[in-house]
Structure formats: C-alpha cells, structure tokens
C-alpha cells in the first residue's frame, strides 16, 4: 500500500534516479489473494510484514540532440529501513500453515475451507452472473490438476526450484494461469519427471484435464467480458 509520500533523488554513483515510496504490506488479504503466499514461510512473512519502503530505480537514456530522459524502471526493491506508513494495519497473525504437512488448504476457526473457492467473489462484482459457473468449473479442474499431480510442483514452496513458479493451488492463482496450463499441456511441455524432463501424460488424463481447463477458461473469459461491459456502462455519459 502507498500513502502518497515519496522522494525523487538522482544517485550520482549509480547514474540513475531513485524514487522512494513510503509503503506497507497488505497483510489483511484473504489467504488465496496474495500474489505469492508469503504465509507459508515465517521469515518471508516477517520481511514483507516489516516492509515500509518501496524503491524504484530509473535508468537514463540519450534522446538525441543532447537530451537525456528517464528510461523504464531498472530495479525495484522493498526495504524495512524506511519511514512507517501512518494508519497502516499493525502486525497480524499470518494465515495458518504447516509447511511440513504441505497443508496448502486448511479449515479455519469458523469451520470453512481456506483458501476458499468463493474467493472469486473478491475478483469480480458480487452480481456477476458468471460466479456460479466459475465456482463449478474451478472445482472440476482442481480435481483434474490433483489427478495429474500438477500440485506436486505448482505450490508455494517450489520443490523443484523452478525459475518461474506458476502457482495453481488456489482459485485466484489458477484463474490467472489457466491459459498457460492449457498451452503447456497441449504442447506436451508438462508434466515433468523428477529430473525435469518432459514426460508423457496418458491420453485419458490429458483429455479430462484439457476439457475441464478449457471450461474454466471459458468461464473466466465470460466473467471478464461481463465486468468490462458493466464498467463501460458506468462511465458512459
């Protein structure tokens, strides 16, 4: 979160502009809403929880005729050595998780399964007519992902130490990556064996997974189309 306080400094040593933002970790998201579930690791959670500054480094480029302008962001960093963000939530207990038991889903104190499938409610409008279809098709593809052993690797602790970790174990993450899943399975690039070599998926398993994944992808598309149409109506004169 950003409170609007920032500074812009030209760093002579690096020959880049350094933009420092007073920021804070959004620690009250629902478990399945974090872009990466920091909560599976005590140290990572503590680092993000304590972060109070975001730093962006802008490079310089020669625009011709002696004109110098800023380029795109070269590096972004977060730090625990900035100023505290006033009004930011204090430290809270991180979501329950037992890494040793690989409990990527659990039952909370209210007896509800977490991360809840109904997290789609936080991604789309409450009156989006496609929410039920999203829920149903996600449940179906989640079972196929489990059957295909996708969740042995595509989980936050990254057991295979992949350079690009694609998460699939929560509804929000699966929603963001489903098109990538479909493409990889169609091209036979997934799954991988224990040493990282592509291995063949049975025709039956592949057919079931693609069928459920495509249905989920279609539901995502329809939900986004509805949201876009509703937004357009709201801003129309």
Which pLDDT tens digit goes with each residue over 3-55? 888 999 999 998 889 999 998 888 877 666 776 767 777 788 888 888 899 99
CA proximity to 59, closest of 73, 49, 79: 73
The 3-state DSSP class for residue 95 equals: coil
Beta bridge partners of residue 48, listed in sequence order:
none
Q: Strands 53-64 and 113-114: what pairing?
A: unpaired
Q: How crowded is residue 104: how many other Cβ atoms within 10 Å of its Cβ? A: 21
pLDDT of 88 over the 80 cut: no
- Backbone angles phi and psi of 71, in degrees to 5: -100, -165
pLDDT digits (tens, 9 = 90+) for 207-223: 898 999 999 999 999 99
Q: Which residues contact 215 (CB under 8 A, 6 or more apart)?
A: 137, 140, 141
Under a CB-based contact definition with an 8 Å cutoff, are residues 231 and 128 in contact? no
Beta bridge partners of residue 22, listed in sequence order:
53
The token pair at 181 is: 């899943």
Under a CB-based contact definition with an 8 Å cutoff, are residues 82 and 22 in contact? yes
Q: How confident is the model at residue 234 (pLDDT cuts 50, 70, 90)?
A: low
Which pTM was predicted? 0.59
Angstrom distance (rounded) from CA 237 to CA 127: 22
């Amino acid at each position: 979160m950003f409170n609007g306080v920032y500074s812009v400094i030209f760093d002579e040593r690096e020959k880049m502009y350094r933009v420092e933002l007073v920021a804070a970790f959004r620690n009250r998201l629902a478990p399945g809403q974090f872009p990466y579930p920091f909560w599976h690791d005590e140290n990572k959670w503590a680092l993000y929880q304590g972060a109070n500054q975001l730093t962006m480094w802008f490079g310089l480029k020669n625009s011709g005729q002696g004109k110098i302008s800023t380029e795109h962001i070269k590096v972004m960093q977060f730090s625990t050595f900035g100023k505290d963000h006033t009004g930011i939530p204090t430290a809270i207990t991180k979501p329950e998780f037992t890494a040793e038991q690989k409990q990527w889903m659990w039952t909370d104190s209210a007896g509800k399964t977490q991360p809840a499938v109904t997290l789609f409610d936080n991604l789309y409008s409450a009156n989006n007519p496609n929410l039920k279809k999203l829920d149903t098709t996600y449940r179906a593809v989640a079972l196929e992902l489990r059957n295909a052993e996708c969740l042995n690797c595509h989980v936050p602790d990254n057991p295979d130490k992949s350079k690009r970790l694609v998460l699939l174990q929560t509804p929000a993450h699966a929603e963001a990556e489903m098109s990538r899943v479909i493409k990889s399975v169609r091209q036979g690039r997934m799954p991988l064996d224990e040493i990282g070599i592509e291995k063949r998926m049975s025709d039956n398993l592949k057919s079931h997974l693609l069928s459920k994944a495509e249905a989920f992808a279609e539901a995502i598309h329809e939900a986004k189309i509805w949201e876009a149409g509703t937004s357009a109506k709201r801003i129309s004169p």
